[in-house]
A and B are shown apart, each in its own frame.
Chain A
Amino acid sequence: KAYSQKISIHLKSVYLDNVFREIQRQTDYLFLYTAEEIKKAGKVNVDIKNSTIEEAMQQCLSSTGLGFHIVDKTIVLDPNPATADKPAARQRITGTVTHQETKEPLIGVSILLKGTKTATVSDNKGHFEIDAQPGQTLVFTYIGFAVKEMVIGSQTSINVLLQEQPKSVSEVVVVGYGTTKRTDLTGAVGTVNASDLGKVTATNLGQAIQGRMSGVQVTQTSGQPGAGADIKVRGVGSVKSGNSPLVLVDGFVGSMNDVDADDVESITVLKDASAAAIYGSRAANGVLLVTTKKGKAGKPAVAFKSENGWQSLTKKPNYLNGPDWARHQNEARKYNGKSPFWVDATAPETITQWTDWSDYVFRTAPIQDYHLGINGGTDKTKYAVGIGYINQRGIIIGTNFDRVNARINFEQEITDRIRTGINLSYIRSAYTTTITAFSSSQPAALNGITAAPPTIPAYNPDGLPGAPRPNYPGEAYIANTTWKTPSIANDILDNLSRSNKTFGNLFAEVDIVKGLKYKLVVNGAVTNNFNEEWTGKWAIYSPADVGHTTPLAQGATASLRNVAKESYVWEVQNLLTYVRTFGRHNINALLGVSYEKSDGYQFDASKTDFPNNDLRVLGAGNTLGAINGGYVDPYSLTSQFGRINYSYNDRYLLQANIRRDGSSVFAPGKQQGVFPSFSAGWRVSQESFMQQLKAVSNLKIRASWGQLGNANIPAYAWISTIDVTNGAVFGNPQTRQPAYFPTQMANENIKWETTTTTDLGLELGLFNERLTFEGDIYNKKTTDMLLDATIPFTAGYTAGPVVNIGEVQNKGWEILLRYQDNIGDFNYSGSFNLSHNKNKLVNLGGVKSLLTGPLKSDVGLPLYSYWGFQTDGIWRTADEINANPHRSGDRPGMVRFVDLNNDKQITDADKTVIGSYMPKYVYGFNAAFSWRGIDVSILFQGEKDKDMLVESVFGGNGEGEDNNIDRYYWDNRAILDKDGNVISGTTPAAGAVKGDAIWSSYLVQDASYLRIKNLQIGYTLPKSWIAPLKIQSLRVYANATNLVTWTKFIGYDPEMKPSEPSGINVYSRGGVDAYPVAKSITLGARLIF
């Protein structure tokens, strides 16, 4: 019979023989004692956990004056112990607990006198006091830090340095509806903790996790202040139902925009089916669990952060100056058989003044970020308060983002069996812009950077935006188009988008019997959005028209559109958990039911004809434009779920999940879906045969299989809806009568999209966890993918039903490697993550391939592949054209398309995949150093094998002759001789690229990049300097985001990426109408009082 020899006993006021019996039950020791000795010793209290026999004996005998010795598994009581004749006098020990790297005091560290119940916590200055005897051991535990033990000697003052554990085996990880030890995990889970989150200056939490996890691709799609980041977990698997992960803030549906990064304790990403399956129908795209900071027992700790800095373009565009732009226009017109504009008195050489529109539009913009956190409580009452404010002005003039957020977390232990708490958050954000449009129908100033002639001044002496001069036809085109110069747009637009969100939860938790807990959680959120889009009256005049008599161009009426929306969502969770250990059997089970419901309304109205540009409320407009909207689609979800974790001897881990979801988006009777998962782990390192391998501190192999759903299914696809807005006319006089008819064909059998994931993982820790490795390979297959069926016109419906027919596969692998160590005071760590994903559309179920702009989804291709002609440089001579397959109208200097199928002609059959905007590899490298008070961390982040189809830097968007272009295409353009043959150059001749939507590989650029995503240098001031200021800790730091970028990409930034085709934004125009990503440098300070 083998025993672990670890003892846990919890007994109160009992005689020693009871204790000994318990010890005998748990171990193979025998006892030798007399009844007299037991009686003399009196009743004792014992509370020990996982202790050695020695520790256990010491504690239970500590109040008795008895001693003991062990002879060959037999414990003999000594009436007069020789080693400790008399108890040593207890003395008061005082000390301070400090962060080893930052030297900040650590608040709320629990300090336990080993083997006893004596414990305390450090206060807000990191101080603690405890009574102990020399020789006893103090145990310091603090979440996220390595446990430290110190033996008390003769000293009465102890200063303890705790070292942070970035990823250690003892780490507690937030998982669905609970937490677990990292060692117990059997699924693929990534985490980021507060210390890393604080390192990035970001208004969005999504950006803060960028580059820090494997298998997670975070892309900053826009540099617009306050804009969110695009997050993908292990590829994309759906055409219609979205590919964004489920985000839960403290267990409740939310978004990454809902929380201030300074309020966040940790973010967990559940990547595989095993980890995510507890969220069933919503987990197919992965799950992000955001956990906010909770109160900690101790005196109030007040932490204040202030950060200020500047942002600018990551790369300044290189457009042509005035004379070169005019030369380009001349050359392009000549190429197209037109007469040049800029000749004689207006020859390019005569242009001495011009506007660099990118200089007008882009600026260096300030950002400020403040956060105040208060944290404290007692054993029974804990609270945390966070208040934050961010003001971020955009790098595009006229753009500004403000956010105020406040949150309160309060927990109360009512009895030792009942705990309750409340979490309440409010966040208000407002984005204003006077230059970029919300909707595409408005003039887009960003387009104006290349569309507006540089020879036009931004502003005329009369203070109005610059206008084309009547005798300069090269400038004229602006007058008759809706593309306006950036200065016109800036003068007339005034757009505001505001959002208020209040959300939170209430919970109560009751211990029913040992190990069994019941928890009730009520979540709720209310969101109000308000949009205002104002376009003012405007007119521009020739500089010569001093009296402003004849506008060259104008917008005669002002218009205003308001959209107001309110939506709410609530959820009730009932959770039953059971955690027990029976000898070597560990059981952790969860059973839950939840109900969720969401609804709302929307109102959308617009008016035109405002008397002037000052009256900007709907009431002031004369003509009603439109009233629209009026509703938000409701949904409800009922769920039952269960999970059981079983481990034997901490070595063999098993987990099973099941969730049954019912959703209102399906037909009655078809609403339920069941999502099971199973996983297993083997902690090889715990096996006895591994004990000789001292270098291996952790080795775990895990495997999982499971099915997940994608619930972003359009509501009411199952029911044929009847449009009630139409009418037909009859009668004399004719009147419009209601005419109703169904528009979309229904599919009653519509059901969940299902993603089946298989995952194999390996975790390895070497040299006492100094080097850790984690690797996963996975296969994700989405079946029953929803697609819009194509139906013949004879069906009569305008749209086909949504049917479950497609199949998508994502296969990939990901690794995470980390090393940390110290040389004396010098601590260093590095981590590297790399993810590879291969996406393939396996089946379309007979539905036509999907083609939107250049994005094609077809069987055998990755979703949203770039589709077009392969190109082979440019045509150089007319002879070359005649001798080869070409398109009609091809001339030297134009792009040469490849006849892929060798049929001697260029047709649609020659089109092929010319790239993909989904990177094959995503990686990050993070290094951190600290020495005394100085700390440095640097994060490199990159994407490899990623393409971007860009249109506009080439000046090829239809106004090709007039648009400005990137200098690269000017410097390398084809130059033609008098016969029209190319004599030099590698890129097309000026005017040879037309915006006729012929997608080709010529437009596709390699958008792979590597960048210093983040660099932070901090200094924590020595205690002695700041103590007089009554400050506990002060750290100052400098932070840089997107500091350096290595890429071949021509354009603003390679990270901007097209979104999936929904509406018009199907491909990037090379950053010409997407807000460029910014670089920022900030200085900050963190103060703790």
Chain B
Amino acid sequence: KRDFLSSYPKNNLTATNYYKTEDDFTSAVNGIYDALQADRELSFFPMADIATPFAGFGDNRFGQYDNGIFGVTDGWVMAQTFWVAWYRVVFRANLVLDHIDNKEVTISTAAHDRLKGEALFLRSLAYFYLTNLYGDVPLITRELKYEELLTPRNKKAEVVAAIIADLKTAETLLPSVTQYRSKKALLGRASKGAAKSLLGKVYVYEKRWPEAEAKLNEVINVDKDYSLEPQFLDLFWPSTENGKESIFEIQYAGGVKEGNSYVRFAAPNTASLISTAGFGYVTPTEDYTNLFETTNGFPVTSTFVSRVAAGSAYRYTFTHQSADPAFDPSKPYSNRDPRLAWTVWYENTPYISEFQARTGQSGVNYLQQYANENGHNTVKYIIGKLDLTAGDSPGNMILIRYADVLLLYAETLIELNRNTEAAAYINSVRQRPSVAMPTLQTLETVQNRTIIADQQAMRKFLREERYRELAFEWGHLYMDQIRWDVFADEIVKYWTAKKYGGSNPALGSFDKRHYLWPIPAEERNKNPQLTQNPGY
């Protein structure tokens, strides 16, 4: 009954008459994904890798980041952007979880379980990144009233415990990805495998090796929902996204204002004639290319010679060496691990023809100075003219994929001293049909050294394998280096070496406490209850 004074908005639904039906909850859960898909927020997270010695630049927003978070202050804009974005995911998930178990809700059990599982998964995902980036964070698990908003930070251990508990529930509620694959409209939503994989990853981050082993083993050897995509490049191409290797991706679509502008920020500059050319924020270093062996399994090293200005960027000269008799120092990037060409733009890369074939563009060219720095750009997600506008790229971003899980599993096995088994999983990643790199066993022969039997060597190799496989996709390099505690050493070593003729003026101010990001200053203004991380 509506009396004379009752009035409700005409162009909005209202919370009081929402959260009743299956449709309501479907749209509300979609709202969580919408927060995930918001452009220029989480879609910038792949740029996190530029903090490592393996890539640079980043211009304004990532300027401080580029220098290895030297001199980052609590006013750093990206620390606020990601904080806001992840808490938005938390908030929208909380709204769903607050209401979905109400008695008056009319919803089928299948839908209820899936939607609740999705909300739990997405909230866990958010807290995973929040607690690993910022340390102790407010653990908010329901919608807060105005009077309750000023909450203090919770200990990381509490947050992690909540993530684990939620993911354990989520994996029982969520359907297998195989169901989504048959019901194509649902593809892209969180699945049982996603929850298990994330849980496994959480255990790995927490160094809870036996639990990690058990969970990742379920994904790999029990459920067997995933397998490696034969063509490495297909992982980053819209036409083949959500493929069999995909465990969880942020979905983007062009033309309906549901794309991302990462392409615009990461692509080489316009001189490359790529139709989506951009600002080139992600510039892999020569240190990064050095990680890729020759196809015969020999390592390659480089020596810096010079850096000269060329236009607004620089041209670099390096000399390269390798024991591989097939290696030609004048074509240093030829005959290398195929993933190099699919991860890094370099001068006259053979990838150009592949790129032109896939995009239908012609005249594409790549010279060192098309990069703002370091002479290279990233290849991943740079998908040419499939999108309508450069700021509306349809390419999904891969948060978790099967190769990541295999390597996490291998890492776990190494830590459990099961190196031979670990080697098999590393080999499976290296021997993806399109990559087909020598196995660890072959490398031992070629390089004439012991790897598998040596836990230290295995650790180092696994780390490098992760760098090779997972760079510039979703901050894996950055997050791995932090959790392995190699970030500080690597980054100081990198800048101290001054290999590229550049220097980092902030070098002296590097502070290992910056492993944790600052709680954004604006947030602390609004919520005085929040303490700051040390070092800021």
Cβ-based interface call for A5 (8 A): no
Cβ-based interface call for B151 (8 A): yes
Cβ-based interface call for B88 (8 A): yes
Contacts of A789 in B (CB 8 A): 146
Cβ-based interface call for B189 (8 A): yes
Within the complex, what minimum Cβ distance (angstroms) separates A390 from chain B? Answer: 36
Using known A-B contacts A729-B251, A742-B15, determine if residue A793 contacts B87 with beta carbons closer than 8 Å.
Answer: yes
- A740–B9 touching, CB < 8 Å: no
Contacts of B92 in A (CB 8 A): 741, 796
Which residue of chain B is the closest to A665 with respect to CB atoms? B7
Cβ-based interface call for B484 (8 A): no
Cβ-based interface call for A721 (8 A): yes
- B5–A722 touching, CB < 8 Å: no
Cβ-based interface call for A909 (8 A): no
- CB-contact partner of A731 in B6, B80, B94, B186, under 8 A: B186
- B186–A636 touching, CB < 8 Å: no
Cβ-based interface call for A761 (8 A): no
Which residue of chain B is the closest to A725 with respect to CB atoms? B11
Contacts of A638 in B (CB 8 A): 4-5
Contacts of A730 in B (CB 8 A): 30, 33, 185-189, 251
The stretch among A405-413, A712-720, A850-858, A1051-1059 that forms the contact with chain B is A712-720
A668-B8 Cα distance, complex, nearest whole Å: 11
A790-B28 Cα distance, complex, nearest whole Å: 25
User: Chain A: interface secondary structure?
Assistant: loop
Residues in B124-145 with C-beta less than 8 Å from chain A: 138, 140, 143-144
- A735–B34 touching, CB < 8 Å: no
The stretch among B213-221, B350-358, B428-436, B523-531 that forms the contact with chain A is B523-531
Residues in B56-96 with C-beta less than 8 Å from chain A: 80, 83-84, 87-88, 90-92, 94-95
The stretch among B252-260, B262-270, B274-282, B336-344 that forms the contact with chain A is B252-260
Contacts of A790 in B (CB 8 A): 526
- CB-contact partner of A741 in B8, B34, B256, under 8 A: B34
- B15–A720 touching, CB < 8 Å: yes
Contacts of A791 in B (CB 8 A): 146, 149, 526
Cβ-based interface call for B37 (8 A): yes
Cβ-based interface call for B488 (8 A): no
- B188–A597 touching, CB < 8 Å: no
- B6–A668 touching, CB < 8 Å: yes
A730-B146 Cα distance, complex, nearest whole Å: 33
- B7–A634 touching, CB < 8 Å: yes
Contacts of A745 in B (CB 8 A): 146
Residue among A638, A739, A848 with max Cβ neighbours from chain B (10 Å): A739
A665-B7 Cα distance, complex, nearest whole Å: 7
- B186–A722 touching, CB < 8 Å: no
Mask: chain B, 490-527; 1 = CB below 8 Å from A; 0 = not? 00000000000000000000000000000010110111
Within the complex, what minimum Cβ distance (angstroms) separates A723 from chain B? Answer: 6
- A792–B527 touching, CB < 8 Å: yes
Contacts of B11 in A (CB 8 A): 630-631, 724
- B4–A726 touching, CB < 8 Å: no
Contacts of A758 in B (CB 8 A): none
- A739–B146 touching, CB < 8 Å: no
A1006-B188 Cα distance, complex, nearest whole Å: 63
- CB-contact partner of A793 in B6, B31, B520, under 8 A: B520
Contacts of A719 in B (CB 8 A): 8-9, 14-16
Cβ-based interface call for B304 (8 A): no
Contacts of A597 in B (CB 8 A): 4
Which residue of chain A is the closest to B31 with respect to CB atoms? A741
- CB-contact partner of A727 in B10, B30, B530, under 8 A: B30
Contacts of A726 in B (CB 8 A): 31, 34
- B251–A664 touching, CB < 8 Å: no
A746-B144 Cα distance, complex, nearest whole Å: 11
Residue among A631, A792, A795, A796 with max Cβ neighbours from chain B (10 Å): A792
Within the complex, what minimum Cβ distance (angstroms) separates B134 from chain A? Answer: 11
A791-B186 Cα distance, complex, nearest whole Å: 35
Interface size on B, residues (CB 8 A): 63
Residue among A635, A664, A729, A800 with max Cβ neighbours from chain B (10 Å): A729
- CB-contact partner of B526 in A631, A634, A792, A797, under 8 A: A792
Contacts of A634 in B (CB 8 A): 7, 10
Mask: chain A, 757-801; 1 = CB below 8 Å from B; 0 = not? 000000000000000000000000000000001111111110011
Which residue of chain A is the closest to B525 with respect to CB atoms? A848
Cβ-based interface call for B27 (8 A): yes
- A722–B523 touching, CB < 8 Å: no
Within the complex, what minimum Cβ distance (angstroms) separates B156 from chain A? Answer: 16
- CB-contact partner of B30 in A631, A635, A636, A740, under 8 A: A740
Cβ-based interface call for B242 (8 A): yes
Using known A-B contacts A664-B5, A722-B12, A742-B15, determine if residue A792 contacts B523 with beta carbons closer than 8 Å.
Answer: yes
Contacts of B410 in A (CB 8 A): none
- B33–A739 touching, CB < 8 Å: yes
Which residue of chain A is the closest to B520 with respect to CB atoms? A793
- B251–A724 touching, CB < 8 Å: no
- A740–B27 touching, CB < 8 Å: yes
Cβ-based interface call for A470 (8 A): no
- CB-contact partner of A792 in B31, B149, B258, under 8 A: B149
Within the complex, what minimum Cβ distance (angstroms) separates B172 from chain A? Answer: 22
A742-B143 Cα distance, complex, nearest whole Å: 11
Within the complex, what minimum Cβ distance (angstroms) separates A784 from chain B? Answer: 15
Which residue of chain A is the closest to B80 with respect to CB atoms? A793
Within the complex, what minimum Cβ distance (angstroms) separates A846 from chain B? Answer: 10
Residues in A479-510 with C-beta less than 8 Å from chain B: none
Residue among A664, A719, A728, A740 with max Cβ neighbours from chain B (10 Å): A728
Within the complex, what minimum Cβ distance (angstroms) separates A849 from chain B? Answer: 11
Within the complex, what minimum Cβ distance (angstroms) separates B463 from chain A? Answer: 34
Contacts of A794 in B (CB 8 A): 87, 90-91, 138, 140, 149, 151, 523, 527
Which residue of chain B is the closest to A731 with respect to CB atoms? B185
Within the complex, what minimum Cβ distance (angstroms) separates A733 from chain B? Answer: 8
Which residue of chain B is the closest to A637 with respect to CB atoms? B5
Cβ-based interface call for B449 (8 A): no
- B16–A727 touching, CB < 8 Å: no
Cβ-based interface call for B224 (8 A): no
Cβ-based interface call for B394 (8 A): yes
- B146–A747 touching, CB < 8 Å: yes
Within the complex, what minimum Cβ distance (angstroms) separates A871 from chain B? Answer: 27
A745-B394 Cα distance, complex, nearest whole Å: 32
Contacts of B252 in A (CB 8 A): 729
Cβ-based interface call for A135 (8 A): no
Contacts of B33 in A (CB 8 A): 728, 730, 739
- A729–B523 touching, CB < 8 Å: no
- A635–B14 touching, CB < 8 Å: no
Residue among B5, B35, B37, B520 with max Cβ neighbours from chain A (10 Å): B5
Which residue of chain B is the closest to A743 with respect to CB atoms? B12
Within the complex, what minimum Cβ distance (angstroms) separates A629 from chain B? Answer: 9
Residues in B164-208 with C-beta less than 8 Å from chain A: 184-189
Residue among A724, A742, A789, A794 with max Cβ neighbours from chain B (10 Å): A794
Cβ-based interface call for B313 (8 A): no
Within the complex, what minimum Cβ distance (angstroms) separates A561 from chain B? Answer: 20
Contacts of B149 in A (CB 8 A): 791-792, 794-795
Cβ-based interface call for A671 (8 A): yes
- CB-contact partner of A721 in B13, B91, B94, under 8 A: B13
A238-B188 Cα distance, complex, nearest whole Å: 49
- A740–B28 touching, CB < 8 Å: yes
Contacts of A665 in B (CB 8 A): 7
A861-B18 Cα distance, complex, nearest whole Å: 43
Cβ-based interface call for B150 (8 A): yes
10 closest cross-chain pairs (CB), A and B: A796-B91, A741-B31, A739-B30, A739-B34, A721-B12, A720-B15, A664-B7, A722-B13, A728-B33, A792-B527
A sample of 18 more A-B contacts (CB under 8 A), given A668-B6, A728-B31, is: A664-B5, A724-B13, A728-B34, A728-B37, A729-B37, A729-B258, A730-B30, A730-B251, A739-B31, A739-B33, A739-B34, A740-B18, A740-B27, A741-B35, A794-B87, A794-B149, A795-B87, A800-B146
5 contacts between A and B (CB under 8 A): A723-B12, A728-B37, A737-B26, A738-B27, A793-B522
